[in-house]
Amino acid sequence: MRRGIQRMTAVIAGALLVGSAVPASAATDLAAGNWWYDNTGVREAQATVTGDGVTIAVVDSSVNVEAPALVGANIRQGGVDACPDGTPVQVISDDPGSRHGTDVSTVIVGNGQPVGGNPGIQGVAPGAEVLVYSLGTDETDSGESWLTTPCPDDSTGYMVSIVQDAVASGADILILTGALNGESATALLQAIKAGVIVIAGNPNDSVMSGPPNPLSPQAYQFNGVVSVENFGPEGERDDPVVGPWVSIVAPGGSFLTYQPGEDLSWSEPMIGGASNSLAMPFVAGALALVMEAYPEATPNQVLQSLVHTASHAQPDPVHTDEEGWGRIDVPRLMATDPTQFPDENPLIRDDGIPAPAMYEEGVFSDEFGPYPLEPVTPGDESAADGQTGAGPLAGLPVLPIALAALGVLVVIGVVVLIVVLATRRRGPTAPGR
């Protein structure tokens, strides 16, 4: 595995923590932070589906499953909790640095229960399962959130482990951020080919975005990925990223979240600013509702439905660099049977990176050449065993180790048998001799 081509630095899609905390007594204002639940048709959709049976993998900061907004939610740790060299990585944690992953998870599977006497947060797909992987803890500075890989010596290998484990664990949707290159880009490409819907948010600050790097594209610019932008309660957009990779615009601004607070109670309310980080899980949750409602639809057909029901589909889908295929329309999405559409990913562009030819070959290439990986199929747990870096034996061939162990046991048995037989031939030993 090649190391150090480009150390992955995952910049969380803009500043989740932009905005100021709202006093706990301002209950009316806090309730306004759940504007998206009624205004976008989510409440109506949840009358029949909740995302049950759908697994959403979240690759973000660690997550606090004991936060009041997540108590009782269906969240479990993915199979990667260590770097390829065996260094442990916190995945489930009540550390304050878990705030970003906790907020993202809450938008998907929030329990809706009041927090400290304030309004709760009902997730978009509360019946879904969230599979958690960690890019470390969320460090905040000047209102901006940053995540850097916890495995700087092999960030590419760590991302490969995560993506392949998510596929093998049966993830239907994968929320991801960061740059990918070589083997990690191949792993993501193969995940998409295997039928995993990948969602990534653009930076909140447009100056942080530029042309895609052909050797190391950001997840939100990765060809075939649902690249998300956000809008607020009045339909407003704050400093949006513009580019041919933009796929969909979804609710993400002025959301209510609960932060750890100085007492680490995870009950400090906050109304955030524009956040693509929260628009990502909104889209993931909405697609989970569709998947439950139309179980015969393929992942590509679900993406086709997302495109064909967005605001630019009048009547045929139209893409713009400013809004992608338009704004997500949850009622129309829920009312449309995806099986009527072709089983083709509508987000793979002819001029995108990776190129369509790379999807055909199943390998992403850079200036050093191809990095073939053995493709992983959903539910194939054994395929990810050597990729998780979950312990000192991770990645070692299982069969040779098993045979060697069996050989040692046979030798020990033979030695014991010889000793027993020799003892019997000599008879008992007299005391004192």
The kind and range of the H/E element at 151 are none
Gyration radius of the chain's alpha carbons: 25
Name, in order, each residue with C-beta under 8 angstroms of 50's C-beta and a sequence gap of 6 or more: 125, 126, 127, 128, 289, 292
- Token look-up 């479990």 returns 76
Query: How confident is the model at residue 7, as a pLDDT?
Result: 33
Give me 374's structure tokens: 């053995």
Measured distance CA(132)–CA(60) in Å, rounded: 8
Residue type, 31: A
Q: Are 207 and 229 contacting, i.e. CB atoms less than 8 angstroms apart?
A: no
Residue 173 forms beta bridges with which residues? 56, 197
Name, in order, each residue with C-beta under 8 angstroms of 80's C-beta and a sequence gap of 6 or more: 89, 91, 133, 158, 161, 162, 165, 388, 389, 390
Residue-wise DSSP of 267-334: -EEEE----HHHHHHHHHHHHHHHHHH-TTS-HHHHHHHHHHHSTT-SSS---BTTTBT-B--HHHHH
Q: What Å distances lie between residue 130 and 33, 115, 403, CA to CA?
A: 23, 21, 37
Look at residues 10, 33, 8 and name the one whose alpha carbon lies nearest to residue 278.
33
Name, in order, each residue with C-beta under 8 angstroms of 424's C-beta and a sequence gap of 6 or more: none
Given 3-state DSSP classes, what are the helix, strand and coil percentages for the chain, each rounded to the nearest 5?
35, 15, 50
Measured distance CA(180)–CA(159) in Å, rounded: 8
Count H helices, E strands: the chain?
A: 11, 14
Q: Are 262 and 102 contacting, i.e. CB atoms less than 8 angstroms apart?
A: no
Look at residues 176, 30, 20, 35 and name the one whose alpha carbon lies nearest to residue 114.
30
Residue type, 112: G
Measured distance CA(189)–CA(338) in Å, rounded: 23
Measured distance CA(337)–CA(262) in Å, rounded: 48
Q: What Å distances lie between residue 426 and 200, 413, 417, CA to CA?
A: 76, 20, 15
Look at residues 334, 336, 356 and name the one whose alpha carbon lies nearest to residue 346.
356
Per CATH, the architecture of 9-384 is what?
3-Layer(aba) Sandwich (3.40)
Q: Is the dihedral of CA 177, 75, 248, 162 positive or negative?
A: positive
Query: How confident is the model at residue 72, as a pLDDT?
Result: 97
Residue 141 forms beta bridges with which residues? 144
Residues of the chain with pLDDT under 50: 1-27, 141-144, 386-403, 405-406, 408, 410-411, 414-433
Cβ neighbours around 397 below 10 Å, total: 9
Query: How confident is the model at residue 247, as a pLDDT?
Result: 98
Q: How many residues are recorded in the chain?
A: 433
Q: What Å distances lie between residue 21 and 251, 255, 327, 396, CA to CA?
A: 20, 12, 28, 49
User: Domain extents for the chain?
Assistant: 9-384
Query: How confident is the model at residue 380, as a pLDDT?
Result: 76
Q: Is the previous residue joined to 84 through a cis bond, with omega within 30 degrees of 0?
A: no
Residue type, 210: G
Q: Are 136 and 88 contacting, i.e. CB atoms less than 8 angstroms apart?
A: no
Query: How confident is the model at residue 420, as a pLDDT?
Result: 42
